[in-house]
Amino acid sequence: VKTATRIEPLEEQVRQALKHENLENMRQTLVAEHPANVADIIDHLPEHERLAVFKVLPFDYASDVLSETGVEATREIIQQLQPVEASALLNRLSSDDLAEILGEDIPEQQQKLLAVMKPEMAERVRQMLAFPPRSAGRLMVQQFVAVRPEMRTADVLELLQTINPDIETITDLYMLDSAKRLLGVIGLRQVLQSPAERPLSEYAYMHQIAVAPETDQEDVARLVSQHDLFALPVVADDRRMLGIITVDDVIDVLVEESTEDVLRLGAVQGGATDETYFSTPIVRAVRRRVGWLLLLFVAGTITINVLSWFESILSQVVTLSFFIPLLIGTGGNTGAQTVSTMVRGIALNEVHAGDLFRVILREVGSGLLLGTVLSVFAFILALLLGNTLQLAIVVACSIIAICTWANTIGAVVPMLARRFNLDPALVSAPLISTLVDATGLAIYLSIAKVVLGL
């Protein structure tokens, strides 16, 4: 029984083989592995060792590996190969992998490589690259089993005996008219279970879901996942069939999108490439983070203003300032919890734009509950630390107010971003914490002013 391969020992073997220049041995070890694992190893190796490993691979196997490597490794390998070698490798890839490599990984070499590739392949890829990045048109493969309505079961079985080996899946057959418009879909199972003379048009399913090539890949993934599809047809406006998207590519989209969600939530930009942790140059990693950090830093300077407005209160009761980090920290934590919940609820389409009021009601409610629980602890803590009853009351009330406020902000900001179709990358836990920091301070010090009568 084989389970998920641990690639660490394999990587160690590769490093040893490189060190001792035992290349034949390395080749044998690697080709026994799945190309996806070899791609993982190449991604994880330091830059100068990647090509050396890639070059030992047999030609056929190398192209399979290349379709799985991360953007950095792919770029390096292709740049270091002769154009002739590179185009020979690329010619062997499927058109969706090619569109990804030429469109996203190495766009600067796109034209040069298309010029030296097989003309029909180049043409196919050019058509796909005409669609926007991250759209259905970029994900599809143009090869599928096309059948005509007048065909009978026996004709289909004959056709299947000689179909193009590049066709990825034969589970669904697509019935097209003479203008290549999609008429219906037939499952292979139905074909196998139908009498030899029965015409396909009698049993094709006519309401097959199809998407336009411009459809966002996230919508494609949602559709495939909701409807448990194995392949989704892509059609032009006139229902002319352009290609199909297979479920394995949808899985890649889901992984890519959830990487992006996690990074966005942490205020890191542009996570949806297939760069890996180590393959991203450090300067690029910094560039993805510095924008948000600076913006939040500038926004955070309001806290200085808030504190200086309340300077006289703070200087009268110095212990008030001791609770500041704890209170705004708790506000930030509460807001981070809410924003995680909301971002996920919105992504899964559980929360709709029209639910704003219902969401606010719910989050104000749970904020009050959470705040009340915490306030008991805060109250006791303040007294234990030897503060006055009045100060303990200030801290306890503030924590209720801040939790409720943080919960509301953490819910409203993502909902508004969705309602006004703003870039969802706007919404992150650090953004919410920063918003809560300044307002939380104002809440705390205002309560102090009232309760302590300053």
In the region spanning residues 128 to 167, those forming contacts with its own copies, defined by CB under 8 A, are: 157, 160-162
Instruction: Choose, by CB under 8 A, the member of 133, 149, 199, 266 that binds its own copies.
Output: 266
Task: Give the sign of the dihedral formed by CA 20, CA 32, CA 273, CA 255.
Answer: negative
User: Shortest Cβ distance from residue 76 to its own copies (Å)?
Assistant: 16
Judged by CB under 8 A, the chain residues 188 through 217 that form the site for its own copies are 188-189, 192-193, 209-212, 215
Specify the amino acid at residue 197. Answer: E
Q: Is 311 in the site for its own copies (CB under 8 A)?
A: yes
Q: Which stretch binds its own copies (CB under 8 A): 13-21, 84-92, 115-123, 256-264?
A: 256-264
- Shorter beta-carbon distance to its own copies: residue 87 or 279: 279
Min CB(87)–its own copies separation in Å: 24
When the beta carbons of 307 and 360 are compared against its own copies, the nearer one is 307
Closest approach, Cβ 300 to its own copies, in A, equals: 5
Residue closer to its own copies (CB basis): 46 or 119:
46
When binding is defined by CB under 8 A, the residue of 47, 118, 278, 389 that contacts its own copies is 278
How many of the other CB atoms lie within 10 Å of CB of 423? 8
Kindly tell me which residue out of 144, 174, 323, 379 binds its own copies, with binding defined by CB under 8 A. 323
CB of 62 to its own copies, least distance (A): 17
The piece of 50-58, 101-109, 376-384, 446-454 that touches its own copies (CB under 8 A) is 376-384
Q: How far is the CB of 208 from its own copies (least distance, A)?
A: 9
**Minimal distance in Å, beta carbon 5 to its own copies?**
8
**With respect to its own copies, which residue has the nearer C-beta, 165 or 453?**
165
Residue 120 binds its own copies (CB under 8 A): no
Q: Is residue 188 a contact partner of residue 162, using CB atoms and an 8 Å limit?
A: no
Of residues 411 through 450, those in contact with its own copies by CB under 8 A are: 428-430, 433-434, 437-438, 441
CB of 133 to its own copies, least distance (A): 18
Q: Which 235-254 residues touch its own copies, going by CB under 8 A? A: 235, 237, 239, 247-248, 250-252, 254
Task: Tell me whether residue 115 or residue 376 sits nearer to its own copies (CB atom).
Answer: 376
Of 7, 18, 52, 452, which one interacts with its own copies (CB under 8 A)? 7
CB 186 within 8 A of CB 173: yes
User: Judged by CB, which is closer to its own copies: 114, or 359?
Assistant: 359
Q: Which of residues 37-76 bind its own copies (CB under 8 A)?
A: 37, 40, 43-44
Residue with Cβ nearer its own copies (10 or 86): 10
Range in contact with its own copies (rule: CB under 8 A) among 17-25, 75-83, 123-131, 318-326: 318-326
Mark 330-369 with x for binding to its own copies (rule: CB under 8 A) and - for no binding. Answer: x-xxx-xxxxxxxxxx--xxxxxxxx--x---x--xx--x
C-beta of 82 vs 162, nearer to its own copies: 162
| Complex with its own copies: residue 87 or 338, whichever CB lies closer | 338
CB of 161 to its own copies, least distance (A): 5
In this structure, what are the phi and psi dihedrals at residue 427, rounded to the nearest 5 degrees?
-90, 115
Q: How many residues bind its own copies (CB under 8 A)?
A: 133
Give ∠ CA 311-312-318 in degrees, rounded to 5: 80
Q: Quick one: three-class SS letters along the chain?
A: CCCCCCHHHHHHHHHHHHHCCCHHHHHHHHHCCCHHHHHHHHHHCCHHHHHHHHHHCCHHHHHHHHCCCCHHHHHHHHHHCCHHHHHHHHHCCCHHHHHHHHHHHCHHHHHHHHHHCCHHHHHHHHHHHCCCCCEHHHHCECCCCEECCCCEHHHHHHHHHCCCCCCCCCCEEEEECCCCEEEEEEEHHHHHCCCCCCEHHHCCECCCCCECCCCEHHHHHHHHHHHCCCEEEEECCCCEEEEEEEHHHHHHHHHHHHHHHHHHHCCCCCCCCCCCCCCCCHHHHHHHHHHHHHHHHHHHCHHHHHHHHCHHHHHHCCHHHHCHHHHHHHHHHHHHHHHHHHHHHHHCCCCCHHHHHHHHHHHHHHHHHHHHHHHHHHHHHHHHCCCCHHHHHHHHHHHHHHHHHHHHHHHHHHHHHHHCCCCHHHCCHHHHHHHHHHHHHHHHHHHHHHHHCC
C-alpha 235: how far from chain center: 25
